[in-house]
Amino acid sequence: MRRVESKPVPLFPGPNDVFAAIGRGIFAGLAGTAVMTAGQRVEMRLRGRQGSTSPGDLVAGLLGVEAIDEAQRRRFSDLVHWTWGTGWGVPRGLLRSFGLRGVPVVVAHFTMVVGTDCWLLASRGLAPPPWRWTRQELIFELLHKGVLVGTTHLAFRLLEP
């Protein structure tokens, strides 16, 4: 009888493994959300504006729930903000597992993030469509989403084997 040696199962599967790409995407999305949130907080202080509760209002409306008070509404919106931003790492990972790299993956990811956010908020009446925004609102929205996507991309690249 011949002895068959088995290969050890790798702790981190190769870059083409979909589940590994999704896992890296989640961690990259968390990093992207953290950097975007820091930038948003600086921008809010400089412009003297409050944070938006639109993300929480959107999900609360979809779930059919209401906040008891304003503090709970803001906490729920923060939870949705972090979950939503981190979750955008999943399609980033999927795009990579389907072979997209470099500029095409960044453009595709950015388009998905901005398009989905604008469509969801406008379709639920929580924000006007982007063509009705002021130039300043549009610039800051695109800048923040660019930071999210760019940081997610860089973090994803750093996490690749």
pLDDT confidence of residue 98: 84
pLDDT of residue 32: 98
Q: How many CB atoms lie within 10 A of CB 64?
A: 6
62-66, 77-81, 105-109: the lowest-pLDDT one: 62-66
- When pLDDT is averaged across residues 89-96 and rounded to a whole number, the result is 95
pLDDT averaged over the chain? 90
- Stretch 125-137: mean pLDDT: 93
Q: Give pLDDT tens digits for 149-158.
A: 999 999 999 9
Q: Using CA atoms in the order 111, 157, 35, 81, what is the torsion angle rounded to 10 degrees?
A: 50
pLDDT recorded at residue 7: 55
Rg (CA), the chain: 19
